[in-house]
Amino acid sequence: MLWKMLTGFQGVLFDAGDTLITADPPVREVALTVADRFFPELTPSLLLPALAAARSFFSQHYTRYSLREEDQLLADMAQAMRVALRETANVDVDFLPFVRRVRNSIRYRPFPDVLPTLRILREQGKTLAVVSNWDPALPALLTELGLAEFFAFILPSAKVGVEKPDRRIFRLALQRLGLEPRQVAHVGDKYEADVVGARAVGITPILLDRQGTAGYQDVICINSLTELVAMGSHGR
Given 58, 90, 105, the domain boundary residue is 105
Both 12 and 126 in one domain: the answer is: yes
pLDDT of residue 236: 41
Contacts of 144 (CB under 8 A, 6+ apart): none
Centre a 10 Å sphere on the Cβ of residue 100 and count the other Cβ atoms it contains.
17
Given 72, 105, 138, the domain boundary residue is 105
pLDDT of residue 1: 58
Both 61 and 120 in one domain: the answer is: no
pLDDT of residue 230: 78
| CATH number, residue 193 | 3.40.50.1000
Both 6 and 53 in one domain: the answer is: no
Both 56 and 145 in one domain: the answer is: no
Both 34 and 78 in one domain: the answer is: yes
Both 145 and 208 in one domain: the answer is: yes
What is the mean pLDDT, run by run of 10 residues, along the chain of 236 residues?
74 98 96 94 91 95 90 97 94 96 97 98 96 96 98 96 96 98 97 97 96 89 93 45
Both 92 and 205 in one domain: the answer is: no
pLDDT of residue 234: 43
pLDDT of residue 4: 63
Instruction: Count how many residues are written for the chain.
Output: 236
pLDDT of residue 44: 87
Residue 94 is classified by DSSP as: -
Both 141 and 121 in one domain: the answer is: yes
Look at residues 10, 3, 14 and name the one whose alpha carbon lies nearest to residue 132.
Answer: 14
Q: Pseudo-torsion of CA 218, 224, 227, 228, nearest 10°?
A: 80
**Number of domain units in the chain:** 2
Contacts of 45 (CB under 8 A, 6+ apart): none
Both 112 and 100 in one domain: the answer is: no
Write out the residue range of the structural domain in which residue 211 sits.
2-22+108-235
Given 43, 76, 105, the domain boundary residue is 105
